[in-house]
Amino acid sequence: MTIRRFRLMNWSLVPTADEPDAPSPTYNFRCCTVGDDDKECGAESGPQTDPDDARKWAWDHWKSTDQEHSAFSEWNVRPWAMHLDGPA
């Protein structure tokens, strides 16, 4: 007769920005201004590793549209990983 033992383990989901091999967080802005044609502009900054660069893009886009495009959304991508904490 074979006896099998199972052991539960505790896992945690943690941000990994401090780990040396972790990818850098990225920041992206998108213009949400709706024009006269009822369509969203949709212009994007593209992923930036420096949040100030992404914000600068929004300011530059606002200026380039004669201050008409003033609605933006932002999304950030941060690396996370599962870490084993030991037995439950």
Which of the four pLDDT bands, split at 50, 70 and 90, describes residue 88? very low
| Four-CA torsion 71, 74, 48, 62, nearest 10 degrees | 10
If one counts every other C-beta atom within 10 angstroms of the C-beta of residue 44, the result is 16
Q: What is the SS3 assignment for 14?
A: strand
3-state class of 20 per DSSP?
coil
Residue 83 has pLDDT above 90, yes or no: no
pLDDT at 39: 94
Highest mean pLDDT among 6-10, 18-22, 33-37, 41-45: 41-45
Residues of the chain above pLDDT 70, percent = 97
Q: For the whole model, what pTM was predicted? A: 0.73
